[in-house]
Every structure is written in C-alpha cells, then in structure tokens.
A and B are shown apart, each in its own frame.
Chain A
Amino acid sequence: MQTDQIQPELPTDGLEVKQWKTRRKGDLSIWDPSIIRRAIPDSFKKLDPRVQVKNPVMFVVEVGSVVTTIEFVRLLFARPTATLDRTHLNFEIFFVLAVAIWLWFTVVFANFAEAMAEGRGKAQADTLRRARTTTMAKRLACPDRFGKVEAVAAPELRKGDLVLVEAGEVIPGDGDVIEGVASVDESAITGESAPVIRESGGDRSAVTGGTRVLSDWIVVQISANPGETFLDRMIALVEGARRQKTPNEIALNILIAALTIIFLLVVVSLEPFAIYSGQAVSVTTLIALLVCLIPTTIGGLLSAIGIAGMDRMVQRNVLAMSGRAVEAAGDVDVLLLDKTGTITLGNRQATRFVPLRGVEERALAEAAMLASLSDETPEGRSIVALAREKYGFTDAVDPTAMFIPFSATTRMSGVDMHGASNGTSSAHAIRKGAGDSVAAYVAEYGGTTSDELKTIVNGIASAGSTPLVVAEVRSGVNGTDGHAQVLGVIELKDIVKGGMRARFDELRRMGIRTVMITGDNPLTAAAIAREAGVDDFLAQATPETKMKLIKEQQTGGRMVAMTGDGTNDAPALAQADVGVAMNTGTQAAKEAANMVDLDSNPTKLIEVVEVGKQLLISRGALTTFSIANDVAKYFAIIPAAFSITYPQLQALNIMHLTTPNSAVLSAVIFNALIIVALIPLALRGIKYRAIGAGPLLRRNLLIYGIGGIIIPFAGIKAIDLILQLLHLTLG
C-alpha cells in the first residue's frame, strides 16, 4: 500500500501499465475428437455399479437396465400362450429389448457427459505433467551463490533446501527467491510466453517448480515437498482426481434423490392399483415409467456441470483450490478491489498544466516537456504526451541538454541546457518536483514563491491529484543576473482504467457492491472512488482495517471476495469467502487464497463471479427442465400402460402416439437423447446475464421451465413418427 503522503514522481510500484485480457487456455472445442476418443471407453468403464451407486438417480436407471435385460432373456425362452400369440410375443421381445438398450444408453450417455467434462481436465493435466520432468537441481549448503553445489534429483528436495538455478535451467520446485534476480519463463503454468521478473524480497519472490530461468541466476529456498507442489495440486485439480462434491451439489443431490424415492413409490404402488383394476402392468413398462419420471436429465449431468465449472475457471487461467470456492463466487455480495493496478492504471498521469499568473500555459507546457523528455517514468512520458497533444511540440531535443534524474534527497528532476546550472555561459535549467523542494530550489537562485502557488498546490492535492511544481532558472550571459521563477503546476492524476465504470455498473446490476481499497487519504480516495464509480472505499487501508472491513461485511451476512498479492494480504485473503491471489504474489498469499489467478489480473474477480453464477444457473436450469419434462412423459406412458385394462384412457394420449409400445419407447428414447442433447449446455454452462435477478429468472423460467414442459411433447411425438416410419412401432 502506498502512503497518503503526496510525493511527486513516486517510483512506480511495479505493476506494469497493461490492459488485462483473459487468455483462454487450451482451445479445445467441446467436441474435440481426442477428448471424445477418450470419453467413449470411459463411459463404459463407469458402468461399474460401484461407480454408479454414488449417483442415486443413475443407479436406479442402471438397476432398471439390468432388470429389463433379464426380462428380455426370460422372454426369449417364453412360449406363446392363449392370450399372447407368436406375433405379439415377438413384438413384446423386441419392445423389451429396445427399452433395455435405451436404458443402458441412458446410463452410458450420462457417463459420457461426465467423461467429456473430465476429458478436458485430463488433457490439460497431460500438458502440465510434461512440465514436471525430473530435473537435476544444484543444492547449496549455504545461501551463497558461489557456495558448494551438490547435484540432486528434484524429487529429493525437501522444504527448506536451497538451490541455485541459472539461466537455461528449470526451477526444480516451488520456493521463494532469497538471492538474485532473474527473468523466468512461466509459460508452462500460465500459458503466457512473455517472461516475468522474479527477485528476492518483496512481493515477486515466489517461483513455481517447472518454470524456466531465462537469464541471470537466483537462489531459491524450496517451500514445498515433492507431491505437494503447486504443479502437483494443479494437476490433481484439473484432473478432478480429488473432486469433492460441493455443498450446493450435495443439497441438489438430496433433492433429486428424494424425487427418485417419491417416483419409486409412485411406480411400485401403481402395480397393486393396476392388478386391482384388472391387469398387471409389465415390469418393462413400469421401469420405463420410473426412469422417465425420475430426474435423469439433471441426475446424469450434475457432476459434468460441476467438473465443467472448475474447467471454465482453468480456461480463464484461474486455479480454484476447491469447487466450494467456485460455488461461493456466485454468491459474492461485496468485491474488495485494490485501487492501484485494478481500478487505476497504477501510475499518475499528467492531465492539466496550471500556469501562475503572468506565465503562459504554453511556456509552462514547453518547460515541463523539456524537463521530461528524457524522463522514462510513466509520469514523465505522460507529461510529454500531454504537452505535445496540446501544443504540437516537435521532437527537437537540445543536444546540450543534460537530464537530472529524480533523487530521493532533492525530490526533483529536470534538465540543464547550455552547460551547467551554476555554469558560466547562458544557461537554462528546469526543475519539476514537490512544492517545497522546488520552492527551496528557486529561493537558492534568488527567486520567490507566492501564495498563489500554495493555493494551486493545495487545490490539486485536495481533488485527489498530485501537484508537480515546475520552475526555471535562466542565467544571463555572464551568469550574474540569474532569474529564477516558478512557472506553474502540472496536475498528475490517478487515471481510472477505461471501462471500469461500466464494469462496476454491471456488477451493481448483478447485485454486487464494489469497495475500493487504497492507502490514499480519504479525500483523494473519495475523488477517485467517485470517478471510478465504485460503491464505497476504504482509505488509508492497513491489513488490520482491511480485515475489519471483511469481518464486518460477513457479520452482516454478506459474502466477500478480494484479490491480493502481498504477504500482508494473506490474512484478509484467508478471511474472505473468495480470495484470489495473483500468481505473481508471494507464497503466503497463494497459500491463504482459495484461488490463484495465473494471469495476475486483478479484475479477474469479475469473471470468477460470472463463472460461479454460471455454474449455479446451469444446475438450476437443468433441474427445472428435468422436472418440467415429467408432464409430457406422464401423458405418453400412462395411457399406454393401461391400454388393455382401460382403453378409454387413450383420451389422455393427447400426442396421438401410434401404439402403446411406441409410446413407451418414444418416451424412453427421448429421455436418453435429451441427456446427449444437453451435454454442450452442461459443459459450456448457461450464460449469465447481469440483468437483475427478476428478469433473469423470468427468462430462464421461460426457457427451461415452460420449454421443459413443451419440448418433450414435440420430441416424443417426433420420435414416435420416426419409429412409425421405420416400422418399429411394435404393435
């Protein structure tokens, strides 16, 4: 955090000026052939009852498949009876076979959805594994670059070991740089090819095993034992090997298990009613009815949705340490965002020249530009840019100009032309810097400063900007009648990143409040908060006040998300419900957070929230769709099931399905195919729109609720027509 003291030309705090864009990793389309090739055998392997029993809905379907298959075998050996001649027996055999096959397909399709979701993760895990090649490490006995080096295999390194990594070598494990500075290629982890700087001390000391040092050398203290490294965790995560059901997923499982029990009761009790009414319903039809009524659509796709949600985070280069965190992201009510680098560009930029009375603005601008021509800091460049933009100055640089860089003692920078400032011939010196330093400088050359300057400086400071005073000293031909005067003030402003206001507006429409965290004084903070359009701000923030703010919000029932990178952010990251650490951050921050953003993009939180919401919406929409489907299936199967006992029930056959057998079969086929049809939706997720909960609910209810009632009517009818075309109506 920066202090609230206003300093001119404060060195940039390390965050490059960069418009963040999320790179999508792994351009695998949903139907990538390599994933499908892998998913097909997997979906058959998952038929193992020990796997299926974890999913109550699909387990019931599998048991139904087994029973109908047995029924089919039994019928093969059955003989025609008085009531059932050979033709009808054959119809019955084919009917049972068809139902059995489609029930098996239902299970396989659900498995396929899950395998597809996992497949994408596995493909990514393979890429990551390649980075985990066994390397040899140079272990140091003492933290000295030139100390004795011992060659050991990377897996033998333990926490606390010191290793030397030189240009061209792979960093053997996670750790902190304790000596040296190097550029590191982290593309294996982040996918970003531009190298990053890693140096000892500060917030950029963490290095990840598997990345490569490109230049220079570093001494790394290993911070993770083999098997616990970031890379290992990442592989486990994307593979879904340690996937645990998330709280909401468990709750949803309870609901669909309960619905399964209810419909099991419905179907089991139907048989005594049917026997009382005259004739038992065949086991096959009862099972078909059961499978159609229980929520197979959501039951089959639920785990795929969860895996795909994690995967979408990975695609956005965010590593969620748990599915729980992804889910929590959808619930976030308050976002805490650091001002610097997130809301503002991270650098102050010149926005205005304020000349003193009697000085032309053009003269001030020219002086400011000359003083900054060789100033390579972002502030300096912005001054040049502003002056050129306003007055169209050319690039002409005085060959005699000598640039005086900023120093902490003088707190000024500037330029001397035609010799030295206290030189002999005609000289022209320009200084820019903090008000009091420049005033002292002018006084040294006999100039004075007025109250007017003070007013301007204070005015700019209180508006949240930084005043930079410009003065010049001109000496005569003899260097005697020197003339020193203050020209005016440059206003340096914290520039709010483009498009932030729109994003905050969008967040507000999502129902999320944004709070800006800054070390600035309240006045400055308020000005920037107003400009950026955040809902609230925390000025003069310290780790303690940040923590307090989070706890306050949580006590009020709100879910808090924040980003951070420094070690002092760690407690707050741990306290927040969703803590996203920057990959460039320290090990402590990454440990404390429940997500790591490999792009180190502070605005990524917004996307994280969207992914979380998408995950929940997908679940809700498919649950609603699944339950709404039951209406049509009831009208398809019930009249068919009792076609012999009560032919009058054909009045309920409002879809005019051809025969009882084709009606039941069409419903079962629809039920199986709808799972496949919805796989892309489950994997991609349903788009979240920040239009407020009411309109969003109306929209989704129309599509998945009303649509869920109507679509199966059309679908079952269409399948029945196809069966009719193929002469497969079996009756």
Chain B
Amino acid sequence: MPVTLNSVLQVLIFMVIILLLTKPVGLYLYKVFNGERTWLSPVLVPVERFFYRLSGISEEDEQKWTGYMVSVLIFSVVGMLLLYLLERTQQWQRTFFNPQGLPNVEPQLAFNTAASFTTNTNWQSYTGEQTMSYLTQMAGLAFHQFVSAAVGIALAVALVRGLARRSAQHLGSFWVDLVRCTLYILLPVCIVGALVFVSQGMIQNFNAYTVVHTLNGQTQTIAQGPVASMEIIKDLGTNGGGFFNVNAAHPFENPNALTGLLIILCEITLGAGLFYMFGKWVGNTRQGWVLWIVSAILFVIGVFIVIPAEQAGNPLLASAGANQVVNATQSGGNMEGKEVRFGITISSLQEVTTTATSTGTVMSFHDSYTPIGGLVLISNMALGEIIFGGVGAGLYSMLMFAIIGVFIAGLMVGRTPEYLGKKIERKEIMMAVLALLVSPLVILGFSSIAIALPAGQAGLTTGAGNLGPHGLSDILYAFTSTNANNGSAFAGLNGNNPFYNWTLGFAMLIGRFAEVIPLLALGGALVKKRVVPAGLGTFPTTGALWVALLIGVILIVGALTYFPAYSLGPIIEQLFMHAGKVF
C-alpha cells in the first residue's frame, strides 16, 4: 500500500490546524482592513497615524479603481527601481552590510531579481549566499517580501470591497491598506515568528562566512547571515525567496520538524484566513467557506496524488537496487531530492502547499519528483494560485473563477448571472476573461518561444536527464512558476542567462500586473452595482452544488488548457518511466 496511515494522519492533522486557524485569522484581517479596533491598536494606532502624517495621507481619502491601480503601479515601479539600484551598488556597501565583499549584480540578473521580488514571485536565478550582500537581502529582498505581500492582500481587499459595497465608487485607499497590512499583520507575526525560529536554531547574524576544516582535511565555507528574519516573511508573505540557494532544505533555514511545520502553516494560513475575511465582509461567512472548501478539496486531491506517486517509488531506482520499501527506519519511496529528515509525507505536503499557495519555498527538489508528482506541482501553479493561493492573489484569482463559473452555469437557473447579488454583465465578464487570458498567454506563449529558439533550448542542462519530455517540463515549469508568481523551479533549467532573465522577468511582471489590472477594473465595475436581494430564484453560491461546479470550471477551463502541452511533458515521461526509459 503506497500510502501509510501515518501519512494520512499527518495530512489530516495539518488540515485540522488550518481549519482552526482560518476563522480567527480571517476575523483579525477583517477588523484590520475595516479600521476596527484590535488588541494591537493601542500600540499601533499612533504609529499608523504617524506614518499617515509623515506621508500626507488621509485615512478617509478613498480611491476609485483607477486611483487604486495607479497607486499600486507607482509603488511597485518605484520599489522595483530601488531594489535594482541596491543590487547594482552593493559592492560599495560597507563591510558590516557586505562582509564577503560581493560584487554588484549583473544588470539582467538585477532586473530579473527586482521583477521577481516586486511581484511576490521570488524566482531566484542566483545563489543567495554567493550573490547578495546582507543589506541587499534585508533592505532589498526582505523589504519586498513584506510589501509585495501587502500589495497582494490590498488588491484582494479592494476587489472584496467591490463585491461588498453597493452603489458606491471607491475601493478603499491603497496607501491605508498597505500600511495596515504591514503594520498590523505582517510585522507582528514576523517579529514573533523570527524569534521562535531563532529559538529553534535558525541563525540571525551579520557574521562573515565561517571557514571550517573538515575531518578529512578539506576546508568548507559555511555561509552566515540574518536568516530567521527573512525566513518568516518569506513564508508568511508567500514569497519563497530563500536566504540560501537550497532554500528551506538548508539546516540553517529549517532546523527541525517544528520549524518545518511552522513554515508550511505560514505559507497557507493568511490565504485561508482571507477566504473567511471575504465571507465576513460580504455578510455571509458561508460564501467564504465554500471557496475555502474548494481550495481544500483541490489541495487534498493534489496531496493524495503526490504522496502515493512518491511513496510508490521509481521503478528505475528499484531496478538499480535501491530499497524503496517503507519500514521502521526509512520512509521508503522516491527519496531522490528529498531530505531524510522529512521523508515523503512532509516533503510532499510542503511542496503541494508551496505550489498551491504561490510561495516557492522548497524543502525538497521538485525536479526529482516522479513525473506525476511534478505534474501536480506544475498544475497547482497553472491553475492560477487559487488553492488558498498567494496572499491576496489566491482570493482574487479564486473570485475571478467564481465569476466565470457563475457566468457559465448561472444562466442555467434562468436569470442573468449574479454573484453576491451583483449582476455579471458585459463589463464584468470582459475583465474576468482578460485576467483569465493572462496565464495561458504567458505560460504557453513564452514556453513555445523558448523551446523554439536555440537560446531557450540552451538553458536546458544537458546530460542530467533534462532532455526529451523532461526538458519540456523544465521550461513549462519555469514559465508557469514565474507567471503564477510562485518562484519555485525545476532545477534542470539554467535560468541565469540573458534569455531567461529577461523572458522570465517579463513573465513575472505580466503574470502579476496584467492580471490584477483587469481584476481591479472588475472591482471598479462591481462596486457601482446595486445588489439584487437573494430569493428562491437566485443562483446559490453556497453549498455543495456550487463547490462541485466551481471545481469543474477550474479543472476544465483552468487545467484543460495546459493538458495538451503536459501530455508531451510529465504525462509521457511518466509513461516512459514505467516503460523503463529515461532521457
């Protein structure tokens, strides 16, 4: 039996923890964004006011969708430029911030990285400990890990206001949402979380790298740095950009099972809580819970495809003499690229979570998963970060699918489709499908260009099993991950070259902003609408039927798009694997 009871229990416990966290987190989010009093208010309200006075922002000054959008774009462009400048000038930073004396980052890599962190992607074409100074990591990358998460959440909040408000004009103030999100949500959790991580053995220092002499007489350089402070926001903000190249598979970045669990929980909790916040905001928490359930079902389906696929092991490894059978001393299964500390279940749970939530933190090597396991990971991202999803992005992308789902099937009750009492008409569906179009355009467009050009094919690491179908998977994975602002990678692709730095950089920017602009416009169109009171004839968007319908729409509209391409990648690779063929 490929799935052990132990596996099932671990997943079950994990789901129960998320279930328990959803409501309190969601309520807190709701209060923060509505300016209601929370238990942190006595301390933070003066700080918040101070920032508003400093920047000349009035809390009451709300914005229309266009104003909100312009603010988001200005903030992101300026932030991206600052990060670029910081990367390009790090060699002049003093010893304290750059003890290793790392040189300036190459222009195209600096662009790629700036785009990556501004868009909450955290695709890393570099090796953190060999490329980025402490100042760049902390003030450049970690800063964006905070604000790109806050921007994502703010965008979702704006869309929720569009759905919740009636006959209104404004979607809230971006600046206020940004400040509140950072101040009340991200910073407090991160301060506490970083200390917990440090207590578990995660490092936090500004030391120069330690050079040690190993037992067999060699020298080894052990990288140091302010890791814990970055690790917590990396996960909480669904960023995923690790301090070290190997990310959370590094013992300094993930010392033990407890930190492992906390990392996975951080990735998923805010996304889950946002669904509850949405339900609360629109006056019916069931509306939020159904989206939560849709996410949970897709999540569990993913987990229970990956775990058996990995636990069953790789027949090629078996024929090479590897023992892949589970027993008291080993987890068995396909352990290539997985840490023995965590085994199959935690690794699978983490990697499904990281791809579902658009985080990109990794504890095991996605490239080494069985093709079917890899197929789940890439599909999670291709669906558009909706399975709990990136912070904010999960909610707004799920709402996009909800609107498309309502529109397709809602007509079948004999009324013009409406979601939460708002009629979905020409303008709304136009904006929703514009957002829907972005992913196929970026993923399939860039991938087919990359695979057709020598420059693109040159990125495939030859000789390491990265040709044939797996090479296609590598490229598809890269553009899917960047488009979905995930940031994880199939490492068979060398991304640090001009072709991929530029194309992946643009994939991230388009994947983020080309999707949110139509969704903000959607919010702007919805906010003006009156609400049709629900009656017996109203399309029910709570309940099992809606859950089934939404999953159907997500799978058919969202996933079927990529299956022709996948059949030449992971699907055929899996068939070949069973036939004993590798590339």
Q: Are chains A and B native binding partners rather than an unrelated pairing? A: yes
Residue numbers in A under 8 Å from B564 (CB-CB): 266-267, 270, 289, 634, 638
Q: Is A492 an interface residue (CB 8 A)?
A: no
With A and B bound together, what is the CA distance between A627 and B405 in angstroms? Answer: 12
Of residues A511, A555, A558, A638, which shows the largest number of chain B Cβ atoms within 10 Å of its Cβ? A511
Query: Within 8 Å of chain B (Cβ to Cβ): is A619?
Result: yes
Interface membership of chain A positions 513-545, coded 1 if the CB is closer than 8 angstroms to chain B and 0 otherwise: 100000000000000000000000000000000
Q: How far is the CB of A473 from chain B (nearest CB, A)?
A: 59
Among A255, A508, A512, A617, the one with the most B-chain Cβ atoms within 10 Å of its Cβ is A255
Q: Which residues of B contact A693 (CB under 8 A)?
A: 413, 415, 536-540
Contact A631 B451 (CB under 8 A): no
CB neighbors of B among A676-726 (8 A)? 688, 692-694, 696-698, 700-701, 704-705
Q: How far is the CB of B552 from chain A (nearest CB, A)?
A: 7
Q: Is the CB of A631 within 8 A of B556?
A: yes
Contact partners of A40 in chain B: CB under 8 A = none
Binding-face segment, A152-160, A172-180, A648-656 = A648-656
Q: Are B413 and A696 in contact (CB under 8 A)?
A: yes
B208-220 vs A, Cβ < 8 Å mask (1 yes, 0 no): 0000000000000
**Contact across chains for B412 and A511 when beta carbons are under 8 A apart:** no
Q: Is the CB of A624 within 8 A of B536?
A: no
Set B411, B421, B567, B572: member contacting A617, Cβ < 8 A? B411
A721–B568 Cα distance when bound, in Å, is: 28
0/1 interface trace, chain B 434-469, chain A, CB 8 Å (1 if under): 101100110011011101100001000000000011
Query: What B residues does A261 contact at CB under 8 A?
Result: 437
The reply to whether A270 and B565 form a contact with Cβ atoms under 8 Å apart is yes
Closest CB pairs A-B (n = 6): A511-B537, A620-B411, A613-B414, A258-B433, A511-B535, A269-B448
Of B125-133, B357-365, B422-430, B498-506, the one contacting chain A is: B422-430
The answer, yes or no, to whether B532 is at the interface (CB within 8 Å) is yes
Inter-chain CA distance A648–B436, complex, in Å, is: 32
Closest A residue to B450 by beta carbon equals: A272
Separation of A265 and B434 alpha carbons in the complex (Å) = 14
Q: Taking the nearest CB of chain B, how far is it from the CB of A29, in angstroms?
A: 25
Tell me the smallest distance from the CB of A617 to a CB of chain B, in Å. Answer: 5
Q: How far is the CA of A583 from the CA of B421 in the complex (A)?
A: 35
Q: Are B412 and A652 in contact (CB under 8 A)?
A: no
Residues of A within 8 Å of B471, CB to CB, are 276
Give Cα distance in the complex from A229 to B481, angstroms: 63
Once bound together, how far apart are the Cα atoms of A386 and B174, in whole Å? 75
Q: Closest Cβ of chain A: how far from B542's Cβ, in Å?
A: 10
Q: Of the candidates A327, A612, A649, which one forms a contact with B572 in the assembled complex, judged by CB atoms under 8 Å apart? A: A649
Tell me whether B560 and A630 are in contact (CB under 8 A). yes
For the complex, what is the distance from the CA of A262 to the CA of B448, rounded to whole Å? 14
B445 near A694 with CB under 8 A, answer: no
B412: contacting residue among A254, A333, A621, A631, CB under 8 A: A621
For the complex, what is the distance from the CA of A8 to the CA of B538, rounded to whole Å? 45
Q: Pick the contact of B409: A247, A293, A510, A705 (CB < 8 A).
A: A705
Q: Which of B524-542 contact A (CB under 8 A)?
A: 530-533, 535-540
Are A620 and B425 closer than 8 Å at their CB atoms? no
Question: For A624, what are the chain B residues with a Cβ–Cβ distance below 8 Å?
Answer: 408-409, 412
A554 and chain B: residue at smallest CB distance:
B530
The answer, among B413, B560, B572, for a CB contact under 8 Å with A634, is: B560
Shortest distance from the beta carbon of B316 to any chain A beta carbon, whole Å: 15
Q: Are A277 and B412 closer than 8 Å at their CB atoms?
A: no
Contact B415 A701 (CB under 8 A): no
Which of B412, B416, B535, B552 sits near A248, CB closer than 8 Å? B416
User: Residue of A at shortest CB range from B414?
Assistant: A613
A619–B448 touching, CB < 8 Å: no
Q: How far is the CB of A712 from chain B (nearest CB, A)?
A: 13
Given contacts A254-B429, A512-B537, contact A331 B416 (CB under 8 A): yes
Cβ–Cβ < 8 Å partners of B428 in chain A: 251
Contact B567 A648 (CB under 8 A): no
Looking across the interface, which residue of chain A has its beta carbon closest to that of B538?
A693
Chain A residue, CB-CB nearest to B409: A624
Interface contact A649-B575, CB-CB below 8 Å: yes
- Chain A window 40-52, contacts with chain B (Cβ cutoff 8 Å), 1 for yes, 0 for no: 0000000000000
B3 on the A face (CB < 8 A)? no
Shortest Cβ distance from A556 into B: residue: B533
Q: Is residue A628 within 8 Å, beta carbon to beta carbon, of the partner chain?
A: yes
B536-A511 in contact (CB<8A) = yes
Contact in complex: A330, B416 (CB < 8 Å): yes
Q: Is the CB of A701 within 8 A of B549?
A: yes
Residue A102 lies at the interface, judged by CB distance under 8 Å to chain B: no
Task: Please classify how large the interface on chain A is, using the bins under 10, 10 to 19, 20 to 34, 35 or more.
Answer: 35 or more
Flag whether A217 is at the interface (Cβ < 8 A).
Answer: no
Q: B interface, by DSSP: helix, strand, loop or mixed?
A: helix
Q: Is B545 an interface residue (CB 8 A)?
A: yes
Query: Can you name the residue of chain A whose Cβ is closest to the Cβ of B542?
Result: A694
- Interface presence of B294 (CB below 8 A): no
A634 adjacent to B563 (CB under 8 Å): yes
Q: Give the docked Cα–Cα distance between A627 and B426 (Å).
A: 20
Q: A262-B561, A331-B416, A511-B536 are in contact. List 17 more A-B contacts (CB 8 A).
A: A254-B433, A258-B436, A265-B440, A272-B449, A272-B452, A276-B451, A330-B416, A333-B532, A557-B531, A558-B532, A616-B415, A623-B411, A634-B560, A693-B413, A693-B537, A697-B545, A705-B409
B163 is an interface residue with CB less than 8 A from chain A: no
In whole Å, how far is A398's beta carbon from the nearest beta carbon of chain B? 58
The residue of chain A having its C-beta at the shortest distance from the C-beta of B467 within the complex is A276
- A642 in the interface, Cβ–Cβ < 8 Å? yes
Which of B412, B468, B543, B571 is close to A620, meaning CB atoms less than 8 Å apart?
Answer: B412
Q: Confirm or deny: B579 has a beta carbon within 8 angstroms of a beta carbon on chain A.
A: yes
- Indicate if the CB atoms of B444 and A265 lie closer than 8 Å: yes
- Indicate whether A250 reaches chain B with its CB closer than 8 angstroms: yes
> Which residues from chain B contact A251 at a C-beta distance below 8 Å?
407, 424-426, 428-430
Query: In whole angstroms, what is the CA distance A631 to B553 when docked?
Result: 12
Residues of B with C-beta under 8 A to A289: 564
Q: Min CB distance, A631 to chain B, in Å?
A: 7
Residues of A within 8 A of B15 (CB): none
Q: Does B228 belong to the interface (CB within 8 Å)?
A: no
- A620 contacts B409, C-beta separation under 8 Å: yes
CB of A268 within 8 Å of the partner chain: yes
- A393 CB within 8 Å of chain B: no
Among candidates A513, A557, A613, A630, residue contacting B415 with C-beta atoms closer than 8 Å: A613
A302 to chain B, nearest CB (A): 12
* 19 A-B contact pairs sorted by A residue (CB < 8 Å): A247-B425, A258-B437, A263-B561, A265-B561, A270-B564, A270-B565, A272-B449, A273-B568, A277-B469, A616-B411, A620-B408, A624-B412, A627-B408, A634-B563, A651-B575, A694-B543, A696-B413, A698-B545, A701-B409
Q: Is A283 an interface position by the 8 A CB rule?
A: no
Q: Which residues of A contact B429 (CB under 8 A)?
A: 251-252, 254-255
Q: Does A728 contact B (CB under 8 A)?
A: no
Within the complex, what minimum Cβ distance (angstroms) separates A575 from chain B?
A: 16
Candidate in A267, A333, A555, A612 with the most chain B CB atoms within 10 angstroms: A333
Q: How near does chain B come to A18, taking the closest CB pair, in angstroms?
A: 29
**Bound form: Cα–Cα A701–B412 in Å:** 8
Q: Quick one: which of A248, A276, A694 has the most chain B CB within 10 A?
A: A276
Q: How far is the CA of A694 from the CA of B563 in the complex (A)?
A: 32
Contacts of A558 on B, CB cut-off 8 Å? 532-533
Taking a contact as CB atoms closer than 8 A, the residue among A250, A327, A333, A627 that contacts B556 in the complex is A627
Task: Evaluate contact between B414 and A265: CB separation under 8 angstroms.
Answer: no
Q: Smallest CB-CB separation from A648: which chain B residue?
A: B575
A333 to B414 Cα, complex, angstroms: 12
Taking a contact as CB atoms under 8 Å apart, the answer to whether A614 and B414 are in contact is yes
A296 to chain B, nearest CB (A): 15
User: A509: CB under 8 A from chain B?
Assistant: yes
Asked if B557 and A511 sit within 8 Å, CB to CB, the answer is no
Rounded to whole angstroms, the CA-CA distance of A705 and B421 in the bound complex is 24
Q: In the complex, are the beta carbons of B539 and A266 less than 8 A apart? A: no
Chain B residue with the shortest CB-CB distance to A638: B567
Asked if B404 lies at the interface with its beta carbon under 8 angstroms from chain A, I say yes
Q: CA separation between A643 and B219, bound complex, in Å?
A: 54
Bound complex: CA A333 to CA B416 (Å): 12
User: A509-B536, A557-B533 in contact; A688/B412 too (CB < 8 A)?
Assistant: no
